[in-house]
Structure 1
Amino acid sequence: MEDRFAGLIGTARVEADAAGRGLSVRVVSRPAANSLAEAAQVLGIEPGDIVKTLVVKRHDGDFLFALVPGGRKISWPKLRALVGVNKLQLPDASLALEATGYERGTITPLGSAREWPVFADSLVAGHEIALGAGAHGYSVFVSGSDLIASFGATVADITEPE
C-alpha cells in the first residue's frame, strides 16, 4: 500500500485526515509528562479520557488499531476472541512506525500511513477524548463517538484495569 499522506507530517496529517472524514478535532500543544496522571493534569482532563492508540500485529502480518483508555490495558483473550484469531502481539517500535508512519507515543489512526481496522474499547464512546496527534508534544481532542463512527470501528469491551 502506498502512503496516503505523503508530504504531510505529524499533526498536519491528523488534521487533513480528520477534515476528509468530516471529523471535528482540536490539536493542542502540551509539555511532556512522566505519568498518565501528570498528562491528564496538564491537559485538564481525567486519566481515562486519554486514549492510547496501540498498533497490534495480527498472525497474518496485517495490523489493527486498538483504542485503549488511560489506566487500562488490552485484554488479550477478549481482543483475540473479537478479532477471531489465536495470536496477536504488539510489534516493536520500528515495525509500528513502518505500519503507521508515526513514532510510538504519537500514534493515532488519524492520518496513519495505512488505514487499518480500528477496535475501540466501549469506554471510548460518549465523551471527548485526547489521543496522539502524530507528533511529540501534541494531543488531539475529539469526540470518542465521532471518531469511532468515522472509522466504522468495532466497539467492545477489549480492556481490563492496569
Structure 2
Amino acid sequence: MPSPAFTALDAAGLPYRVIRHGPVRSLAEAAAARGVPVPDVVKTIVVRRGEDDHLFVLTPGDRVVSWPKLRHLLGVSRMSMPDAEAARAVTGYERGTITPFGASTAWPVVADERLQGREITLGAGEHGVAVALDADAALAALDATVADVTDPAPAR
C-alpha cells in the first residue's frame, strides 16, 4: 500500500521523482544516497504552538529552525517540539518519514525562504524513501508561508 504522501502528491498534480535509498543514519548519508547536496534534503519539523495546534516547518538540510525568528513570524511567545509519539499522533508519520503531504491533519506549513527556486527532496512517509520535486510548486501546493526562519546549522 503506497504512503498517503504519494496519494497527496498525485492529487495536487505535482510531478515528482521517487528515490528509494534504504536506511540512512544521518542527513549527510541521506544527501549522498539521494545524490543531492545537503541543503536540498529538506527536514520537516513538527512544531506545537498550543493544545491541538501544530505546524510543519520545512528547513534546508544545512540549516536549523531559528526559534526567535519563527516565534516572531507567528506572533507567539512559546512553541515546542512534540516527542516522537506525539508527532506521529498528529501527523500519521513516524519521525524520519514526516512530510506535510498526506499527513493525517493538514497543519499549516512554514518554509524557509532558501528553499525557493530549486529542486528539493522530502521524506515520503516511509523510511528510506524520498521524493524529489520543484520547491516552488510544492510550496504553492502546500500554501506555505515562506520566510527567513532558519540559521546555519552549527559546525560538527
Smaller-chain TM-score bracket: over 0.9
2:18 is aligned with 1:27? yes
Q: Percent identity?
A: 47
SS at match of 2:106: coil
> How far did 1:34 drift?
2.4
Corresponding residue for 1:71? Answer: 62
2:17 is aligned with 1:16? no
1:136-151 → structure 2 map (5 Å cutoff): 136-151=127-142
Corresponding residue for 1:123? Answer: 114
Structure 2 stretches lacking a partner, 5+ long: none
Corresponding residue for 1:44? Answer: 35
Equivalent AA in structure 2 for residue 48 of structure 1: P
How many residues align? The count is 153
CA deviation string 1:58-83 (max 9, x = no partner): 03430000001102110000001111
Q: Distance in 1 between matches of 2:24 and 2:127?
A: 11
Q: Distance in 2 between matches of 1:91 and 1:58?
A: 10
Normalising to structure 1: TM-score of the pair? 0.90
Q: Is the 8 A contact 1:15 1:25 kept in 2?
A: no
| Runs of 4+ deviating beyond 6 Å | none
Corresponding residue for 1:108? Answer: 99
CA deviation string 1:75-129 (max 9, x = no partner): 0000011111111111011110010000000000000001000000001111111
Q: Distance in 2 between matches of 1:32 and 1:123?
A: 27
Q: Is the 8 A contact 2:3 2:126 kept in 1?
A: no
2:85 is aligned with 1:81? no
Normalising to structure 2: TM-score of the pair? 0.94
Q: Is the 8 A contact 1:27 1:139 kept in 2?
A: yes
Q: Distance in 1 between matches of 2:115 and 2:15?
A: 16
Of 111, 122, 145, the match for 1:154: 145
Structure 1 stretches lacking a partner, 5+ long: 1-8
- RMSD of equivalent CA atoms: 1.2
